[in-house]
Chain A
Amino acid sequence: KAGVTQTPRYLIKTRGQQVTLSCSPISGHRSVSWYQQTPGQGLQFLFEYFSETQRNKGNFPGRFSGRQFSNSRSEMNVSTLELGDSALYLCASSLSNNSPLHFGNGTRLTVT
């Protein structure tokens, strides 16, 4: 069974630009969540989608948004990029609330 796939693997963007990251969950998983990992703040929850609906949202500004499609694939978008948005962005999928989360290898975003 294929794992969680995130594309692209690496991205370099300039301040003020916007970026879209993609995540394909494990087949059959309907929950997709996103996390930001930085050396200073560690791993922080961004948002979670289940059956195309956002169920939970972390404490991030409105520049961070996401969506989930009917095939459970998800995208997250960051607009008006700032230097502090440089991070590893991780996507995870799960069957349900009480099932393990399975993470992809992440997209490393560098903002210059």
Chain B
Amino acid sequence: KQEVTQIPAALSVPEGENLVLNCSFTDSAIYNLQWFRQDPGKGLTSLLLIQSSQREQTSGRLNASLDKSSGRSTLYIAASQPGDSATYLCAPNNAGNMLTFGGGTRLMVKP
């Protein structure tokens, strides 16, 4: 059974800092891994999807890496902004679209 851990659980930083959010998972037989953000009371917004054969994926100020063999992924956020404040969730996909979610990292970026 896949288990996902995200560290840290919460993070508060001043605007402009570069951040690293960590995700670890126990079952490395994954199709892909997705990172999402969730704003309070809303659904999830897809940020990045890394295929199992890829090492990293970039979109704007976001960069996600994947080390499948060690069961780790990181999300790097460059030059953080107050609008980045949200909960960030990672989710490996082991079968079909059956994602397993971590508990998330709650990020607060202060102006």
Name A's B-contacting residues (CB within 8 A).
Answer: 4, 31, 33, 35, 42-45, 48, 50, 55-56, 58, 90, 92, 94, 97-106
Contact = CB atoms under 8 A, between A and B. Distances in A.
Contacts of A58: 98
A87 to B, nearest CB: 13
Given A42-B104, A100-B34, A94 B97 contact: yes
Contacts of A55: 96
A7 B39 CA distance: 19
B44 A31 contact: no
B44 A97 contact: no
B103 A92 contact: no
Given A103-B44, A106-B42, 5 more contacts: A35-B101, A45-B99, A55-B96, A90-B43, A101-B34
Contacts of A4: 43
A31 B97 contact: yes
Looking at chain B's contact residues, the main secondary structure is: strand
Contacts of B104: 42
A112 to B, nearest CB: 20
A45 B98 contact: yes
Given A31-B97, A43-B89, A43-B101, A100 B43 contact: no
A30 B44 CA distance: 19
Interface string B89-111: 10101011111111110000000
B98 A92 contact: no
Contacts of B51: 98
B32 interface: yes
Contact of A33 (B32, B89, B97, B101): B97
B46 A31 contact: no
A35 B99 CA distance: 9
B64 interface: no
